[in-house]
Amino acid sequence: MQFYGTTLSSRLFLGTAQYPSPKVLCEAIAASGCEVITLSLRRETSDGAGTGFWQMLRQTGARILPNTAGCHSVQEAVTTAQMAREIFDTDWIKLEVIGHADSLQPDVFGLVEAARILSEDGFKVFPYTTEDLVVGEHLLQAGCEVLMPWGAPIGSGQGLRNPDGLRAMRAHFPDTPLVVDAGIGRPSDVAAAMELGLDAVLLNTAVAKAGDPVGMARAMAQAVAAGQAGYQAEPMPRRDMAVPSTPVLGLAELT
């Protein structure tokens, strides 16, 4: 799988917030086998604690994908991204421009504008968006080469609320990497996303808040592999009626 020319073997991206301890976080990253972890600039603090956290994550060997979590305007998101590039020394950025305080739904109008500004500034933008096809088109025109549609509201654990919309995105953008971002709660949600033909899954809370984060991280990785293998094996289509698996021709007739 390639994102902006970078080849990755793992299709699972992992967030780094809300874990019970840094040790558990590092163990979960290792168990997941992920190669990309997300990190908010807001974790960096002036007292040096954030820098220590950043250094610890570097030792995992995973690539850092900074995000603009908590930004509610174009200017705030752009400024945060520029600061993140300086601190983390990467031009990758997960772009969030939140438009609704309760659902944390993206402000798609601000998202497109911020994506355009950042792309023109040399960023490789991973936009957190909805499953709207028109918005997706505008994001690609703005310079994005990846789309990250939500499965459900951030941290809700509801799974895929609109699988038909995600399926339509896959059909409409056959050559664009699609990463389900937000709302994943269980390994079955991950497998379902991969069975739709999406390219990767980004999750955080489902692992961080599990009773056993390390075990859940391992289960999520297995679900990614199972779902992708199932998609590649071309699942049978759904049917409205039963179809017998045993042929009816040749059955004995009792008179």
- 155 annotated as belonging to a binding site for a ligand: yes
Whole-angstrom CA distances from 31 to 39, 120, 207, 210, 253 are: 18, 37, 11, 14, 58
Q: For residue 36, give the nearest of 13, 59, 15 by alpha carbon.
A: 13
Determine whether the annotation assigns residue 110 to a binding site. no
- What distance in Å separates the CA atoms of residue 64 and residue 94, rounded to the nearest whole number? 10
Find, among 58, 113, 73, 122, the residue nearest to 93 by Cα: 122
Q: Distance between CA atoms of 34 and 31, rounded to whole angstroms?
A: 8
Catalytic annotation on 23?
A: no
Q: Is 218 helix (H, G, I), strand (E, B) or coil?
A: helix
Has 45 been labeled as part of a binding site? no
User: Would you say 182 is a known binding-site residue?
Assistant: yes
Radius of gyration of the chain from Cα atoms?
A: 20
Question: Does the annotation place 162 within a ligand binding site?
Answer: no
Please pick, among 23, 94, 124, 209, the residue that the annotation labels catalytic. 94
CA 115/CA 27 separation, integer angstroms: 33
Positions marked catalytic: 94
Q: Which residues are annotated as a binding site for 1-deoxy-D-xylulose 5-phosphate?
A: 155, 182-183, 204-205
Q: Which residues are annotated as a binding site?
A: 155, 182-183, 204-205
